[in-house]
Amino acid sequence: MVRKIGGIKILYRRYRNLSLRVKSILIFSIVVLLPTISLGTLILYETNQVLKHQAFDYTERMLDTIEDNLTATIQDVEDISTYMIFSEDFRKYMKSPQVANGKPAQQNLEESLKGFHTFHLLSKNYINSISLYGINGNVLNMGEPIKAAEGDLEEKTKEREGAILWTHAYSIHSYWKGQTDVISLFRVINDINDINKRIGFVKIRLREDALLKTIQAGISTKKGTAFLLDREGRVVLHKNKKLFGKIYPDEKLLENLPADSDKTSFIYSVDGEQYLVAARVIERNGWQLVVMVNEGAILQDLRGIGYWIIVFFIISMGLGVLSLVGFYFTILRPILNLTDKTRQVEHGDFSVFVKVGSEDEIGRLEYRFNRMVGTIQQLINTKYKLEIQQRESELKALQNQINPHFLYNTLDMIRWTARMEDAMETSRLIELLSKMFRISLSKGKVWIPLHQELLYVESYLELQKKRLGKKLSYQFDIGEDTKDVLVMKQILQPLVENSIVHGFKGLKETGHIELNSYVEEQNVVIDIKDNGVGLDVEEFNRFLRVGKVKEEDGFALMNVNDRLVTAFGQGYGLEFLKHEGTGTWARVRLPLIFKEDEVKKLES
């Protein structure tokens, strides 16, 4: 153990004796080069995993799109057959007896049905033909004229008693195109008024090549394939026509396919090649939609990304070496010098000076360092002057407290003199003004109970009522749980004064002020509302936030807000709210406190 410690000390001593340039290269190799190589290897691995994941996502999204398109096609065709059940014209045609030359009414009915068929044949190019058979021998064929052996399928359909039968792809003879392949919907049409009574039969044949194009959409033939299986694993649709109607030859693949109303995705190997397999069950008819995409073909298009990542890291390391050299000469050395000067300032030497060697960021940093040292020196020189000014301010504050006490005592003396002379109204007004002075003093306290602050406001309003008479009225609604809450002194009177001076200016009706208080989420909320001319709420709130309110528009209100925000921070203070009608709605929010020591904790 001792030898190991000694060896570490020797290595450390050798490291310290290396030149700064060698140290920089060594640090660069350990801190930048090795992590870059390690990170590059990790990124290449993770990129490969991400690409595989993207391939899975691509296959899943492609399968979702194919499923949606195929489901829409199936639903459209099934809706056609369902319409025939509910349509009175179709039911009437299928029930009507066969007529040799056709009566006019029968001809009109047949023309109407042909119009319906023609519309769907033209709007849905994947439909090959539609055949409708009435119980009394009426037959209506639209689309390609065909010849097909469909007896077995008809018998299976009759056994389903009105349920839809979807067939696998099979061959028919078209008099237009020759032999062609179709997938068909077979359905017995029952009377809607008697569901056990068969009145007709419908066959809707779909072009096999159109459906194959639908499920192959977005899949390159070189990358993979898509096909349809029924519930028994028989091939409904496949690019290999020899598989139509047969059990899919790969039993292992069939075992991995999803059960009813389920979906799955997995990697499957075929002839040594990996395939991404995704499968869905089409809920409407139970078909299994299977998509197989060659994993190698997908990743081959994406492997070029790995090459460019390697090139990027090589270039990055080369640029890193060049940056290291430039970093040392243009940044590291000046910073080391600046660090040394900073250490001198830290030890109390404020006479240091850094020579500014450039006009870049480092040069500006050196310049600002010199300014900072000079400012610190200047602050030290003015420290004692500030202390003297502070003491003088404290003396002036004590002197200013003398005048309110003198005025309060003088008003009290005048009140009693007025009472002795039976001037009771004058005495009452003087008493109101005296209360205001007494509360404003409050033995030097900044925080007083809400009921005292309200007494101050009420005294002010009574004095104003003496001046304004019936032009002023007010109403207080004070919550019992708020009366003893401590509030900052003289924060409500400026709001009331604002309503009288600005809100009621030019008001013809009686100016009314409402003052309410209540507790909300551990806060006390005080609302002051009036019916005056109002103000621009958004503009005034913005002025309060930025601290720029014209003196004539509410300097006192800004002072109220600043006092509360300074004491308790954002979330408290004054704001103006919108309300229906005219007038102003001011809200003061304070923390719910009852003791002065709680105030000190919040302020701190």
Could you tell me the two tokens for 524? 């006390």
Of all residues in the chain, the percent with pLDDT exceeding 70 is 79
Could you tell me the two tokens for 541? 């709130």
Q: In which band, very low, low, confident or very high, does the pLDDT at 204 lie, cut at 50, 70 and 90?
A: very high
Could you tell me the two tokens for 458? 């009420």
Cα–Cα distance between 377 and 197 in angstroms, integer?
109
Of the candidate ranges 56-65, 453-462, 582-591, the one whose mean pLDDT is the lowest: 56-65
In the three-class reduction of DSSP (H, G, I as helix; E, B as strand; rest coil), residue 234 is classed as: strand
Average pLDDT, the chain: 79
Q: In which band, very low, low, confident or very high, does the pLDDT at 20 lie, cut at 50, 70 and 90?
A: low
Cα–Cα distance between 107 and 117 in angstroms, integer?
15
Of the candidate ranges 103-112, 486-495, 502-511, the one whose mean pLDDT is the lowest: 103-112
Pairing label, strands 139-143, 146-147: unpaired
Q: In which band, very low, low, confident or very high, does the pLDDT at 501 lie, cut at 50, 70 and 90?
A: confident
Whether residue 390 has pLDDT greater than 70: no
Element holding 533 (H helix, E strand)? none
Helices (H), 195-303: 208-215, 251-256, 295-302
* CB-based contact 176:144 (threshold 8 Å): yes
Model pTM score: 0.46
How many Cβ atoms sit within 10 Å of the Cβ of residue 11? Answer: 10
* CB-based contact 529:583 (threshold 8 Å): yes
- Range 568-595 average pLDDT: 87
- Range 485-501 average pLDDT: 87
Residue written as token pair 């042909």: 114
In the three-class reduction of DSSP (H, G, I as helix; E, B as strand; rest coil), residue 267 is classed as: strand
Of the candidate ranges 54-68, 265-279, 365-379, 542-556, the one whose mean pLDDT is the lowest: 542-556
- CB environment 255-279: b (16+ within 10 A), e (fewer): eebeeeeebebeebeeeeeebbbbb
Whether residue 593 has pLDDT greater than 60: yes
Cα–Cα distance between 554 and 546 in angstroms, integer?
14
Whether residue 180 has pLDDT greater than 70: yes
Could you tell me the two tokens for 529? 């509302």
Whether residue 292 has pLDDT greater than 80: yes
Q: What is the pLDDT of residues 105-157, one digit of tens each?
A: 566 677 777 888 888 888 888 888 888 888 888 888 888 888 888 888 888 98
Whether residue 397 has pLDDT greater than 50: no
Whether residue 10 has pLDDT greater than 90: no
pLDDT greater at residue 270 or residue 158: 158
Sequence-distant (6+) residues with CB within 8 A of 84 are: 90, 132, 189, 200, 202
Pairing label, strands 472-478, 511-520: parallel
Q: What per-residue confidence (pLDDT) applies to 585?
A: 92
Q: What per-residue confidence (pLDDT) applies to 131?
A: 87
Whether residue 524 has pLDDT greater than 90: yes
Whether residue 44 has pLDDT greater than 70: yes
Q: What is the CA radius of gyration of the chain?
A: 47
Q: Which candidate, 528, 524, 512, 535, places its Cα nearest to that of 488?
A: 524
* CB-based contact 354:365 (threshold 8 Å): no
pLDDT greater at residue 326 or residue 86: 86
28-37, 192-201, 400-409: which is most confident: 192-201
Q: In which band, very low, low, confident or very high, does the pLDDT at 43 lie, cut at 50, 70 and 90?
A: confident
Helices (H), 18-33: 20-28
Of the candidate ranges 68-77, 198-207, 420-429, 498-507, the one whose mean pLDDT is the lowest: 420-429
Whether residue 542 has pLDDT greater than 80: yes
Q: What per-residue confidence (pLDDT) applies to 604?
A: 54
Q: Which candidate, 588, 462, 446, places its Cα nearest to that of 516?
A: 588
* CB-based contact 266:257 (threshold 8 Å): no
- Range 482-509 average pLDDT: 86
How many Cβ atoms sit within 10 Å of the Cβ of residue 598? Answer: 14
Sequence-distant (6+) residues with CB within 8 A of 432 are: 459, 460, 462, 463
Q: What per-residue confidence (pLDDT) applies to 194?
A: 81
pLDDT greater at residue 440 or residue 177: 177
Q: In which band, very low, low, confident or very high, does the pLDDT at 544 lie, cut at 50, 70 and 90?
A: confident
Cα–Cα distance between 24 and 333 in angstroms, integer?
12
Whether residue 587 has pLDDT greater than 90: yes
Q: What per-residue confidence (pLDDT) applies to 406?
A: 43
Element holding 228 (H helix, E strand)? strand 224-229
Q: What per-residue confidence (pLDDT) applies to 578?
A: 86
Helices (H), 141-290: 151-159, 208-215, 251-256
pLDDT greater at residue 381 or residue 88: 88
Whether residue 388 has pLDDT greater than 50: no
* CB-based contact 164:185 (threshold 8 Å): yes
Of all residues in the chain, the percent with pLDDT exceeding 90 is 11
In the three-class reduction of DSSP (H, G, I as helix; E, B as strand; rest coil), residue 240 is classed as: coil
Whether residue 399 has pLDDT greater than 50: no
pLDDT greater at residue 389 or residue 486: 486
Q: What per-residue confidence (pLDDT) applies to 525?
A: 95
Whether residue 298 has pLDDT greater than 70: no
- Range 280-299 average pLDDT: 81
pLDDT greater at residue 502 or residue 51: 502
* CB-based contact 189:90 (threshold 8 Å): yes
* CB-based contact 157:180 (threshold 8 Å): no
Q: What per-residue confidence (pLDDT) applies to 101?
A: 57
Whether residue 16 has pLDDT greater than 90: no
Q: What per-residue confidence (pLDDT) applies to 518?
A: 94
Whether residue 70 has pLDDT greater than 80: yes
Q: In which band, very low, low, confident or very high, does the pLDDT at 409 lie, cut at 50, 70 and 90?
A: low
- Range 16-38 average pLDDT: 71
Could you tell me the two tokens for 75? 């639903």
Q: What per-residue confidence (pLDDT) applies to 15?
A: 64
